[in-house]
Amino acid sequence: MGVTRFQVAVSLDGYIAGPRQSQSEPLGEGGERLHDWMTPLEAWRRQHEGYAGGTATPSTPVLEEVQANIGAVVMGRNMFGGGPGPWKDTSWRGWWGENPPFHTPVYVVTHHARPSAEMEGGTTFHFVTDGVDAAIQAARDTAGERDVLISGGANVIQQALALGAVDEFFLHITPLILGDGERLLVNVGDLRLRQIRGVVASNVTHLKYHVEPPERRAPS
């Protein structure tokens, strides 16, 4: 079995998106800067349609690690986009163009059913209406020996952590203060974490944690 994991860039004050998210600013005001360490990387640019060139930094092996060995992806409706509520139409097929950078099945957690959307390059969006737990289970069945990546946003990650469904995660800690927006580590339950890796790069630090099994209670 692969592991179930997530990775996300976070401001120093704990937000993964700034305030007032919108279709034109999906990461909210100031939130794009969370990715300032990533978007110049060649390892990122070659994965994303319309980008070329780029550099290598101490962040490169981290990005390569988090992108490797993914067999299926889980994401929330807000991350997939297309606005809240029932689908107005199904012409919205995500933020990423016709060839999204996932190249695996992607399970989108939503209250509103719609047919799966097969994209170029191996990405297929499936829409799961019976919760985060069911989406993770479907993703694990698909991924098999490979890993399940929980892509976001905050709410889906929080539910997955609270369910005890996450094995490990990478936080990319940026030197931003966003002040408001979507906080990552709230409502995640009583987690026991162990720091298993850290990479100090230029204006970002990558910290990897393992989620430990709940503490055994002494027999009474």
Q: Which residues bind its own copies (CB under 8 A)?
A: 12-14, 171, 173, 175-177, 179, 185-186, 188, 190-191, 193-195, 197-200, 202-205, 207, 209
**Least Cβ distance, residue 15 to its own copies (angstroms):** 10
**Least Cβ distance, residue 177 to its own copies (angstroms):** 5
> Whose Cβ is closer to its own copies: residue 104's or residue 205's?
205
> Whose Cβ is closer to its own copies: residue 110's or residue 174's?
174
> Whose Cβ is closer to its own copies: residue 83's or residue 179's?
179
> Whose Cβ is closer to its own copies: residue 134's or residue 201's?
201
**Least Cβ distance, residue 13 to its own copies (angstroms):** 4
For residues 62 and 206, the answer to whether their CB atoms sit within 8 Å is yes
* Site of tokens 């290598």: 56
> Whose Cβ is closer to its own copies: residue 131's or residue 189's?
189
**Least Cβ distance, residue 195 to its own copies (angstroms):** 5
HEC per residue, the chain: CCCEEEEEEECCCCEEECCCCCCCCCCCCCHHHHHCCCCCEHHHHCCCCCCCCCECCCCHHHHHHHHCCEEEEEEEHHHHCCCCCCCCCCCCCCCCCCCCCCCCEEEEECCCCCCCEECHHHCEEEEECCHHHHHHHHHHHHHCCCEEEEEECHHHHHHHHHCCCCCEEEEEECCCCCCCCEECCCCCCCCCEEEEEEEEECCEEEEEEEECCCCCCCCC
**Least Cβ distance, residue 202 to its own copies (angstroms):** 8
**Least Cβ distance, residue 210 to its own copies (angstroms):** 9
> Whose Cβ is closer to its own copies: residue 106's or residue 178's?
178
